[in-house]
Structure 1
Amino acid sequence: MDTDRILSLTDPFHEAALEPGFWPEALAQLGDAFGGASALLATNHHDGGPHLLEASRCDRDLFARFAAEHGSAEENDYIRQLNAMRAGEVLWRQAVVPDHAWMADPIYRNFLRPQQLWDGLVTPLVKDTAGYAVVGLYRARAFEDGETALLRAIAPHLQRALRVATRLGALRDRLGASLTALDALAPGIVLADKAGRVLHANAAARAILAEADGLALARGGALRTARTAEASALARLIAGAAAVALRRDGLATAAGERAADGGGALALPRPSGRAALSVLVAPLRRAASAGGWGSRAPPPRRSSSCRIRSCGRCPRRRWSGGCTTCRRPRPSWS
């Protein structure tokens, strides 16, 4: 088997695993490699039947009709065989129904013939107790033995791409929920890397940064204070917090990353004369790995978080044990 050809067919799927919008193009390139075939990615849930995820050269309305009319294993020989197959095996239509019987088969007559399709190859990818995902190829002329072998050879690559995509999709959902929760908090919260570049800011922080009164965004997305003295102090706190996070995760290597003080508090005067902003810088905790195939995640970026709040009473204060001006205790948001 030509390794270069396999890689050329699977590279688009590895890209699609990282960027979901690439799946239709990856399927289109796969279909081109199999003689202009229709290519689809679908799931089959044991309690919900087939569902089309992505496709190239496939009529979605006809697929929906097929799922509604022939989606149960009780009446569909193909689904029964797919249920019993191991991930990575290839099901060839000719192995299920010979050509003379296929011409009268309602699946062919009602769903493939209207799309000018005749033969099909299907491989189940990721399987679990709830069901499985499949890649299917369909075209106007019969497939050949060498093409079934090619699909079998690239199936493990498609499996890995789909696993990565599933894992990243779950992480994106969790991240989206977390960022939505951050937006609901009253204090301004900024997630930044060790250079002070903003990775995310919640709604309150975005409003503070938009005012550019004491704290703003510089060109390139880094935090910028109104005065040079506070800029240096803030940079030290952020770099120190990021270094602590690295050391805690066993990722610190340079001497500068080992000698860290772990963040701290800072008061930022505002040119408008309004009460100074109180900034608390702290390292982020690294989430525990979920284990399994998804646990081999890349090292996290050196990051820290800043909480920004002004009590409006004291012109200058530091939140460590409390306000150094009026001695009020640390507020709950810090």
Structure 2
Amino acid sequence: MASNVHSLSARRTAGKSAAMMPPSPPPENLELDGLDRLLGAIYEGPMESPPWQNASQLLRERLGAAHVTLMLRPPSQDGSGAMINTGPTQQQHVDSYESHFFAADPFVRLPEGEVFSAEELIGPQWLQSQYYREFLQPVGVRHLLGADIYTREGIECRLRVTRGPEALPFDAGDKSLLRRVLPHFKRAIQLHARLDFLECERALFAGTVNRMLLGMISFDQNGQLLETNQEARRILAERDGIWLSGNNLCIDSSQESRDFQRMLRQALSGGTHPRAGSEPELVEAIAVSRPSGRAKLGILVRAIPLGPWSESKQRPAVAVFLRDPEANAAQPSQELVRRLFGLTRMEAQLALLLTEGLTLDEAAEKMNVRRNTARTHLRSIFCKTGVTRQTMLVRLLLNSVLSLG
């Protein structure tokens, strides 16, 4: 009797435990969850480095593939490609494709939106092709599935999936999955191209600002420091009147520090932080003393207008520009001066020395020429540049594109 009671109690306990467990999701929900993860990884791909590594791995797992390769830029006679590979791949195989086998690859320029196996596209002779026998077979590839993506910006990408000789061929379900994700890859690739364009533009402008010896510090809407450029880091590292303590910009002089903090708060405040295209953004400036006795640093605070759809509080809201009047800019090359103004080598050397603040006599001495010779060169420079005075020449050179070279 006691045994029966114990058995009944155990069954009741097991029944309660089973009732407390969540029901297993139906198979179609598992399928949707997996597809949702894959699509999410595709749209997160442009922010990865290398891009789409996670999405390619998920696609490889779902298709039971040996490799998934996304060629963002197929190799050509003009240069190497840009390929994202998942699966066991040796660099020597990638190099051999980019240097040689790409030209023998018959599996290219596929109709957009369609997915093909190599046999479907080329026929039984595929296995007798040079490309298969000399490149794919030695690396253990038997089955190949592919699709190409084209955009209106002229981008051509190739998506290739492989299986080894021991695996089954790709079936209709595999092709259906690849066909389903192609439009999402295309949109994500277009986003990547746009982000790449903006990053190239940002790098170009950042390099130009550095060459102009202009330090820049950006803050978000909460006053948190976001970024400093090379020249700003150089100035701050000297700790001569101004430096960084954590995320705080510190200034030696109490009064100058209070003035700067007031300017920063005002630029960050909502009332003086306009939307793009509205009122002009706030701009204020201050000179910061340096205990070393060197010339004061110039600081300019500029509010950055919000875009019409801006929402992130971690975007740059204020830019602080630093200028060291005693910084020595890199000397432009004489060749650049010669090409820009049509000068001879000696004329270009003299022009650059004058922009450094040297007098004609000092420049002649440094060039190891007589003063009359230097004067002759100067008259020739005036004739070629269209100026009539030395100060005008210096202004012309300083305001030219030489500082951007």
Give the TM-score of the pair, scaled to structure 2: 0.60
Partner Cα separation in structure 2 for residue 272 and residue 108 of structure 1: 71
1:214 correspondence with 2:241: yes
Alignment equivalent of 1:193, drawn from 220, 243, 246: 220
Q: Is the 8 A contact 2:151 2:190 kept in 1?
A: no
Q: Which residue of 2 aligns with 1:240?
A: 266
1:112 correspondence with 2:172: no
Question: Could you list the per-position Cα deviations for residues 238-287 of structure 1 after superposition, in whole angstroms to 9, with x for gaps in the alignment?
Answer: 24334578413289xxxxxx9x9823122333444554433221234679
1:10 correspondence with 2:39: yes
Partner Cα separation in structure 2 for residue 44 and residue 156 of structure 1: 19
Amino acid at match of 1:282: R
Q: Which residue of 2 aligns with 1:67?
A: 102
Question: Could you list the per-position Cα deviations for residues 105-135 of structure 1 after superposition, in whole angstroms to 9, with x for gaps in the alignment?
Answer: 3332222211221222212224347451121
Q: Is the 8 A contact 1:126 1:133 kept in 2?
A: yes
Partner Cα separation in structure 2 for residue 94 and residue 63 of structure 1: 21
Partner Cα separation in structure 2 for residue 110 and residue 97 of structure 1: 17
Secondary structure at 1:152's aligned position in 2?
Answer: helix
Q: 1:125-204 residue pairs with structure 2 within 5 A?
A: 125-128=149-152, 130=154, 132-140=156-164, 141=167, 142-204=169-231
- The higher-RCO structure (CA 8 Å, 6+ apart) is 1
Change (3 A) 1:183 1:166: same
Partner Cα separation in structure 2 for residue 136 and residue 178 of structure 1: 37
Amino acid at match of 2:128: A
Post-superposition offset of 1:230:
3.2
Amino acid at match of 2:235: I
Post-superposition offset of 1:180:
0.9
Change (3 A) 1:187 1:89: same
Q: Is the 8 A contact 2:281 2:302 kept in 1?
A: no
Gaps of 5+ in 2: 1-27, 327-397, 400-405
1:27 correspondence with 2:53: no
1:268 correspondence with 2:294: no
Q: Is the 8 A contact 1:237 1:262 kept in 2?
A: no
CA RMSD of aligned residues (A): 3.6
Amino acid at match of 2:144: G
1:89 correspondence with 2:123: no
Question: Could you list the per-position Cα deviations for residues 272-315 of structure 1 after superposition, in whole angstroms to 9, with x for gaps in the alignment?
Answer: 4554433221234679x9xxxxxx88768242222334668xxx
Give the TM-score of the pair, scaled to structure 1: 0.72
Q: Is the 8 A contact 2:39 2:181 kept in 1?
A: yes
Partner Cα separation in structure 2 for residue 3 and residue 277 of structure 1: 60
Q: Is the 8 A contact 1:237 1:281 kept in 2?
A: yes
Change (3 A) 1:245 1:135: farther
Change (3 A) 1:266 1:237: same
Partner Cα separation in structure 1 for residue 153 and residue 290 of structure 2: 59
Question: Could you list the per-position Cα deviations for residues 144-202 of structure 1 after superposition, in whole angstroms to 9, with x for gaps in the alignment?
Answer: 11010111112222222222222212222111111111111134333333455443434
Post-superposition offset of 1:40:
0.7
Q: Is the 8 A contact 1:44 1:131 kept in 2?
A: no
Q: Is the 8 A contact 1:194 1:238 kept in 2?
A: no
Alignment equivalent of 1:56, drawn from 86, 104, 112: 86
Gaps of 5+ in 1: 71-75, 252-257, 290-295, 313-331
Partner Cα separation in structure 1 for residue 194 and residue 152 of structure 2: 15
Alignment equivalent of 2:257, drawn from 223, 228, 231: 231
Figure out how many residues of one structure are paired with residues of the other and give that number.
Answer: 288
Post-superposition offset of 1:215:
1.4
Identify the structure with the greater helix proportion: 2
Change (3 A) 1:36 1:266: same
Change (3 A) 1:119 1:244: farther
Secondary structure at 2:85's aligned position in 1?
Answer: strand
Secondary structure at 2:83's aligned position in 1?
Answer: strand
Secondary structure at 1:117's aligned position in 2?
Answer: coil
Q: Which residue of 1 aligns with 2:320?
A: 306
Q: Is the 8 A contact 2:290 2:296 kept in 1?
A: yes
Change (3 A) 1:298 1:148: farther
Q: Is the 8 A contact 2:75 2:82 kept in 1?
A: no
Change (3 A) 1:279 1:231: same
Partner Cα separation in structure 2 for residue 164 and residue 261 of structure 1: 30
Partner Cα separation in structure 2 for residue 192 and residue 175 of structure 1: 17
Partner Cα separation in structure 1 for residue 221 and residue 277 of structure 2: 16
Partner Cα separation in structure 2 for residue 214 and residue 178 of structure 1: 28
Rg larger in 1 or in 2?
A: 2
Q: Which residue of 2 aligns with 1:79?
A: 108
Identify the structure with the greater strand proportion: 1
Change (3 A) 1:122 1:39: same
Secondary structure at 1:79's aligned position in 2?
Answer: coil
